[in-house]
Amino acid sequence: MATSWVSPPTRTELIEDLVSGVDRYNPSNVSILEDYLYHQIRSQEYDCLANLAILKLRSPRHRSPDFNLCISLLDERSINANLDEPDPLPSLLPTLKHLADLLYRCRFPAFWEVYQSDELEGLRDNYTVECVGFEDAVREVVIRAVKATFTRISADRLASYLDLSGSELAAFVEKKQWKMDANVVSIPPNPDNQIEATVVQENIKLAQLTKVIAHGACN
Amino acid sequence: MAQPRVALWAAEADDMDDDLQDMSLGNYGQNGHYDDTFFQQPQIDEATLMAMQQHMAQQAAFAQIPDVVKGFIVHFHQAVLENNLPEITIAYESGWNKYTEKFYSRTEWPEAEIIAPLVNDELYYRHVYSRLQPNIDDRFHSYENSCELFNYLLNSEGPVQLELPEQWLWDIIDEFIYQFQVFCTWRSKVKSKTDDELLMLAEGGPVWSSYSVLNVLYSLIQKSKINEYIVAHQAGKTPEEIAEIVGEYGVRPLYRHLGYFSIVGLLRVHVLLGDFTLALKVMENVELNQKSPYTRVTACTVATYYYVGFCYIMLRRYPDAIRTFVSILNWIMRMRQYHTRSYQYDQISKTADRMYALFAICNALSPSRLDDNIANISKERYGEQFAKMARGQEDAVPAFKELFLYACPKFISANPPPYDDAAALSALLAPASPDPSSPEYETSLADPAQRHLNLLLSDVVAYTPVPTLRSFLKLYTSLGAKKLANFLDADEEEMVQQLMVMKQASRSVTHVSGGKGLLDGQTASTSDLNFVIDENMVHIAESTVGRRYAGWFIKNTERTQKLYDDLKHQPLPPAPKNAVASTPAAAVVADAKVAKTAPKVAWGGVKAA
């Protein structure tokens, strides 16, 4: 997972060169990277390092004080970081930051409430609509948290986390190949929702004993 | 999950002991202090000294320079000319500092031009920065001087035939970045500038611009092909093959060292600019273990680990940060007996102190028992703050703030205030932001450290309820969510969401052995307390660590063996008159031989402790 994050398979050679060398600081390359970002948004790809390079190039021109806040969004790898367009940034950023924070703190119902509110209509209509699969990407964040924490979860609770109900929820659950039974959704076992009490025993490596053994061999 | 890594790490650390201690012996000019009496010896080139003096005789300034300093400079210069590495090293590490202390602790060294034929400008400006308040001319000139030096190295025809001690090469890069950082900090304070300074800054152009500084570092890395060198070295290529790969620059130690130090320099610059991902990315090929030949340059090693550890914190990879700090802090402790003699001792212990503070932060956010010794020292120094941070109540945030601001690097803004734009500048100077909705805008422009602090605090705030939850969960093996919410006096749904946060907080991307690059890693569990929610029932399982005996037994076995050997090699008591037995004597001789070849017992830190 981390490997594909450092160097996504979808990254082209041209971009790789730009991202790795001193060329990334050459302002004339920013348009190439921005085209790439646009492509990512369209085809649901994500290349964090390339996007950071854009921010770096952009920041001198707009003197964005929020460069690091953008990083904070990118670091959380929530998909809405892809929204970074510098111009409306100062007004949008606090909202985005707030949304990212809600996601980070697993306040999913609150997230949807804010996101679907009338005040953010502009955000939805102008930006997130451009970002293909934005809402599904948020749902993936939810799924990650739910999968790790629950073995079974009530359908109502899941619905409020995903902002889905009725047939949509049923379809979503089916797509995940989870089982819904009497209003309770069972989540298949995974490394994070299996718990076991263990006693960790110490594990002695041969290297630790070399001196003792060497001494024994000398006598 | 986390435990096996612990053992692995500890084992590695012990391997390192011998290598490190041996290597360090060659460092710090162990051949003694730079000695004045040296000049009185006849083989010192009196003629050169005289000639130099006559040549400069008209200059009154030169005459004021104490003779012993002149002698030092000539001697130093000659050593450089002759590429006499041991002499340069001693002169550089001991002599320079000695005379700085003695004659120039409050004033500047003689102008670089006066002693131009004698001394490297670089040292002159370094002195100005470290001891005195540089004026703007000094700042601009030191930039030009650095550029000249790097131009000379990079753009001469073919590689420059010069040998300098590693330590000095590191200091050149280190100082270059330090002066860049100081300049940026100074530049970002608009209010305190005089008109002259404002004018010069407006026309300053590329002086100390981020782009030019980065360009130098990237160029040195490219020219020296250091990355190719490291990769080839790791692949176990023969020296001939490596020479083939790295080319005419890379084979010269001067360029290779500068290349390596530039990688570390880039790491540092990227951290200062707040790009933590990229900072770790440039270190991609560098293996962060203490067997690297560059551990000889102590300051470089300490800086590398400090910045890498800090990056991990900002990327929220606390276990990796802890691992990084533990390893370097242990090393510093073991090395203490050597580097107290170093002129960088102060700097190293200051950095170590800051790392103990960062360690406390990490340990509060992601409790671990990787190294109790380091944890205890950290608690001794920052116990009060640690208690607050670990408890996670309201006073946690100020404690995090305090330690972070104390221990973080001196961040800089990549972008200068708009000195070339008078209107924008006066707008910036105007008190109070006209847009009340963005107070953050103003403060964050002024202080990048504040921005990074906010980044950490956003994490801290999410984690603050975790310790309380944890203390309740520890008491049960299963517990209804409603009951737990009642204990906490919280809304049930709210608490379930908090449990999800806690679950995620107990998972972290962690570097695994064999992983390539510092950014690489896998998700691992970092907590001994695991739980899962089955609809409305919380099930809890706790992992415990069995007592550890092995280290204690091994340590004491080795001690006993050493004691036994020592006893055996004590001279025998005077033999009774007629008991001349040849066999025991022969045995003793044989034993003595063995003792010479047998490795000395040095279990982790025993000697240094």
Q: Confidence class of residue B417 from pLDDT cuts 50, 70 and 90?
A: low
Q: Confidence class of residue B325 from pLDDT cuts 50, 70 and 90?
A: very high
Q: Is residue B359's pLDDT more than 90?
A: yes
State mean pLDDT over B65-83: 59
8 Å CB contact of B500 and A75: no
Higher-confidence residue of A25 and B272: namely: B272
- Which single residue is written with the structure tokens 């306040």? A107
Which pair of tokens denotes residue B61?
């300034």
Query: B78-92, B295-309, B430-444, B447-461: which has the highest mean pLDDT?
Result: B295-309
Q: Are A162 and A169 in contact (CB under 8 A)?
A: yes
pLDDT value at residue B37: 37
Query: A29-33, B354-358, B481-485: which has the highest mean pLDDT?
Result: B354-358
Higher-confidence residue of B572 and B605: namely: B572
Q: Confidence class of residue B549 from pLDDT cuts 50, 70 and 90?
A: confident
Higher-confidence residue of B583 and B174: namely: B174
Q: Which chain B residue shows the shortest CA-CA distance from A216?
A: B561
Q: Tell me the β-bridge partners of B532.
A: B539
8 Å CB contact of B8 and A205: yes
- Stated pTM of the model: 0.70
Substitution target from B277, B518, B555 for chain A, most A beta carbons within 10 A: B277
Angstrom distance (rounded) from CA B379 to CA B371 = 12
- Which single residue is written with the structure tokens 């070399």? A210
Higher-confidence residue of A23 and B212: namely: B212
Helical H runs in B64-209?
Answer: 67-81, 85-90, 96-103, 121-131, 136-155, 166-188, 195-203
Higher-confidence residue of A70 and B348: namely: B348
pLDDT value at residue B33: 41
pLDDT value at residue B360: 93
Q: Which residues contact B343 (CB under 8 A, 6 or more apart)?
A: B93, B94, B97
CA–CA min distance B287, chain A (Å): 17
pLDDT value at residue A100: 75
**Other Cβ atoms closer than 10 A to B525:** 18
Q: Is the ipTM of this complex over 0.90?
A: no
Q: Is residue B357's pLDDT more than 90?
A: yes
Higher-confidence residue of B158 and B343: namely: B158
8 Å CB contact of A154 and B535: yes
- Which single residue is written with the structure tokens 């551990």? B295
Q: What is the pLDDT of residues A172-195, one digit of tens each?
A: 888 888 888 888 899 988 888 888
In Å, how far are A199, B117, B466, B560, B605 from B553, measured between CA atoms? 21, 62, 37, 10, 15
Rg of the Cα trace of chain A?
23
Closest CA to B207 of B132, B149, B141: B141
For residue B558, list chain A residues with Cβ-Cβ distance below 8 A.
Answer: 211-212, 215
Q: At the top level of CATH, which class does the domain B465-546 belong to?
A: mainly alpha
State mean pLDDT over A37-59: 58
10 Å CB burial of residue B521 (0-12, 13-18, 19+) is buried
3-state secondary structure of B507: strand
Q: Is residue B534's pLDDT more than 60?
A: yes
User: Percent of chain A at pLDDT above 90?
Assistant: 5
**Other Cβ atoms closer than 10 A to B505:** 19
10 Å CB burial of residue B489 (0-12, 13-18, 19+) is exposed
Higher-confidence residue of A165 and B268: namely: B268
User: Percent of chain B at pLDDT above 90?
Assistant: 8
One-letter amino acid for residue B227 of the chain: N
Q: Are B466 and B502 in contact (CB under 8 A)?
A: yes
Strands (E), B221-334: none
- What domains can be seen in chain A, in order of their start residue? 1-63 (1.25.40.250)
pLDDT value at residue B382: 92
3-state secondary structure of B46: helix
8 Å CB contact of B543 and A68: no
Q: Confidence class of residue B300 from pLDDT cuts 50, 70 and 90?
A: confident
8 Å CB contact of B554 and A90: no
pLDDT value at residue B305: 92
State mean pLDDT over B471-490: 88
Higher-confidence residue of B347 and B585: namely: B347
pLDDT value at residue A50: 62
**Other Cβ atoms closer than 10 A to B362:** 24
Which pair of tokens denotes residue B196?
């002259």
Q: Which chain A residue shows the shortest CA-CA distance from B529?
A: A197
Q: What is the pLDDT of residues B11-64, one digit of tens each?
A: 333 333 333 333 333 333 333 344 333 333 333 345 544 544 444 443 444 445
Q: Are B309 and B324 in contact (CB under 8 A)?
A: yes
Q: Are A142 and A109 in contact (CB under 8 A)?
A: no
Angstrom distance (rounded) from CA B35 to CA B71 = 11
Which pair of tokens denotes residue B36?
């004045």
Angstrom distance (rounded) from CA B568 to CA B573 = 12
Output DSSP code: residue A37.
H
Query: A6-10, B40-44, B131-135, B159-163: which has the highest mean pLDDT?
Result: B159-163
For residue B317, list chain A residues with Cβ-Cβ distance below 8 A.
Answer: none
Higher-confidence residue of B283 and B28: namely: B283
Query: A108-117, B189-198, B210-219: which has the highest mean pLDDT?
Result: A108-117
Question: Whole-number mean pLDDT of chain B?
Answer: 71
Q: Is residue B594's pLDDT more than 80?
A: no
Angstrom distance (rounded) from CA A114 to CA B441 = 23
8 Å CB contact of B462 and A104: yes
Q: Are B325 and B374 in contact (CB under 8 A)?
A: yes
Which pair of tokens denotes residue A101?
């924070």
State mean pLDDT over B264-271: 90
**Nearest CB to B554; choose among A69, A203, A212:** A212
CA–CA min distance A133, chain B (Å): 24
CA–CA min distance A175, chain B (Å): 21
Higher-confidence residue of B578 and B576: namely: B576
pLDDT value at residue B72: 61
Angstrom distance (rounded) from CA A207 to CA B15 = 8
Q: Is residue B608's pLDDT more than 50?
A: no
pLDDT value at residue B171: 82
**Nearest CB to A152; choose among B523, B531, B534:** B534
8 Å CB contact of A104 and B3: no
Angstrom distance (rounded) from CA B476 to CA B474 = 6
The region of weakest confidence among A6-10, A193-197, B179-183, B313-317 is A6-10
Angstrom distance (rounded) from CA B202 to CA A4 = 44
8 Å CB contact of A104 and B521: no
